[in-house]
Amino acid sequence: MSTIDLRHVSRWYGNVVAVNDVTFAVGPGVTGLLGPNGAGKSTLLHMMSGFLAPSAGSVQLDGERVWRNHLVYRRLGLVPEREAVYGYLSGWAYVLASARLHGLPRPEEAARRALAMVDLEPAQDRRIETYSKGMRQRAKVAAALVHDPELVLLDEPFNGMDPRQRLHMMDLVRRMGAEGRTVLFSSHILEEVERVGERIQVIVAGRLAASGDFHEIRRLMTNRPHVFTVRSSDDRRLASVLIADAATASVEVGPGGLQARAVDFARFAWLLPQVARRDGIRLHEVHPADETLESVFSYLVAS
Cβ-based neighbours of 88, under 8 Å, separated by 6 or more: 127, 128, 129
Give per-residue pLDDT as tens, 250-261: 999 998 899 998
Give per-residue pLDDT as tens, 121-144: 999 999 999 998 889 989 999 999
Q: Which of 164, 193, 218 is the last residue of a domain?
A: 218
CATH of the domain at 124: 3.40.50.300
Q: Are residues 156 and 248 both part of a single domain? A: no
Q: Provide the residue range defining the domain that includes 292.
A: 223-302
Q: Are residues 290 and 149 both part of a single domain? A: no
Number of folded domains in the chain? 2
Q: Are residues 281 and 249 both part of a single domain? A: yes
Q: Are residues 29 and 128 both part of a single domain? A: yes
Q: Which of 218, 239, 273 is the last residue of a domain?
A: 218
Q: Are residues 205 and 283 both part of a single domain? A: no
Q: Are residues 211 and 251 both part of a single domain? A: no
Question: How far is it, in rounded angstroms, from Cα 74 to Cα 1?
Answer: 14
Q: Are residues 136 and 245 both part of a single domain? A: no
Q: Are residues 133 and 37 both part of a single domain? A: yes
Question: How far is it, in rounded angstroms, from Cα 151 to Cα 73?
Answer: 9
Look at residue 215 in the predicted model and tell me its pLDDT.
67
- Which stretches of the chain score pLDDT less than 50? none
Q: Are residues 47 and 141 both part of a single domain? A: yes
Cβ-based neighbours of 73, under 8 Å, separated by 6 or more: 50, 102
Tell the burial category of 58 from Cβ atoms under 10 Å away from its Cβ (0-12, 13-18, 19+).
middle
CATH of the domain at 252: 3.30.70.920
Q: Are residues 212 and 230 both part of a single domain? A: no
Look at residue 225 in the predicted model and tell me its pLDDT.
75
Look at residue 85 in the predicted model and tell me its pLDDT.
75
Looking at residue 123, the DSSP 8-state letter turns out to be G
pTM reported for the whole predicted model: 0.76
Look at residue 222 in the predicted model and tell me its pLDDT.
59
Look at residue 294 in the predicted model and tell me its pLDDT.
63
Q: Are residues 176 and 293 both part of a single domain? A: no
> HSE-up of 133 (CA within 13 Å, CB side)?
11
Q: Which of 172, 196, 218 is the last residue of a domain?
A: 218
Q: Are residues 106 and 250 both part of a single domain? A: no
